[in-house]
Amino acid sequence: MGRALRLAGLALLAGGVYVLNTRTPGDLRLGILYVIPVLLAAWHDGLHWGIAFAIATSLLRFSVGIDQMPPATTLDYRVINELAYLAVVGVAITGLSQLRQTHERLEQLATHDPLTNVLNARSFARELAHELSRNRRYGRPLALIYLDLDNFKAVNDAHGHATGDAVLRLVADSIGGAVRQADIVGRLGGDEFGVLLPETDGTVAHAAATRLAAGIRTVFRGTPSVTASIGLVAVSGTEAGTDDLLRKADEAMYAAKHAGKDRVVQVAM
Q: pLDDT tens digits, residue range 179-216? A: 898 999 999 988 999 999 999 999 999 999 999 999 88
Nearest to 196 by CA among 184, 205, 204: 184
What pLDDT, on the 0 to 100 scale, is given for residue 70? 54
**Between these two residues, 168 and 61, which has the higher pLDDT value?**
168
- Distance, in Å, from the CA atom of 57 to the CA atom of 62, rounded to the nearest integer, reads 8
pLDDT of residue 69: 53
Q: pTM for this structure?
A: 0.69
Q: Which of 58-62, 76-80, 228-232 has the lowest mean pLDDT?
A: 76-80
3-state secondary structure 32-79: HHHHHHHHHHHHHHCHHHHHHHHHHHHHHHHHHHHHHCCCCCCHHHHH
Residue 151 has pLDDT above 80, yes or no: yes
The average pLDDT across 258-264 equals: 93
The pLDDT assigned to 112 comes to 93
Q: What residues contact 166, with CB distance under 8 A and at least 6 apart?
A: none
Query: Mean pLDDT, the chain, as a whole number?
Result: 87
- Whole-number pLDDT of residue 26: 63
Instruction: Specify whether domain 121-268 bears CATH 3.30.70.270.
Output: yes
Percent of the chain residues topping a pLDDT of 70: 93
pLDDT above 70: residue 71:
no
Average pLDDT value for residue range 77-99: 85
Arithmetic mean of pLDDT, 33-42: 91
The strands making up 228-236's β-sheet, listed across from edge to edge, are 184-187, 192-198, 141-149, 228-236, 264-268
Give CATH 3.30.70.270 domain extents, the chain. 121-268
Is the model's pLDDT at 269 over the cut of 80? no
Say if residue 254's pLDDT is above 90. Answer: yes
* pLDDT band (50, 70, 90) for residue 38: very high
**Burial (0-12, 13-18, 19+ Cβ within 10 Å), 32:** exposed
Q: What is the pLDDT of residue 156?
A: 84
Per the CB < 8 A criterion, the answer to whether 185 and 176 are in contact is yes
Question: How much is the pLDDT for 256?
Answer: 95
pLDDT beyond 90 at 219: no
How does residue 68 score in pLDDT terms, banded at 50, 70 and 90? low
pLDDT (average), residues 223-234: 88
User: Quick one: what percent of the chain has pLDDT higher than 90?
Assistant: 44
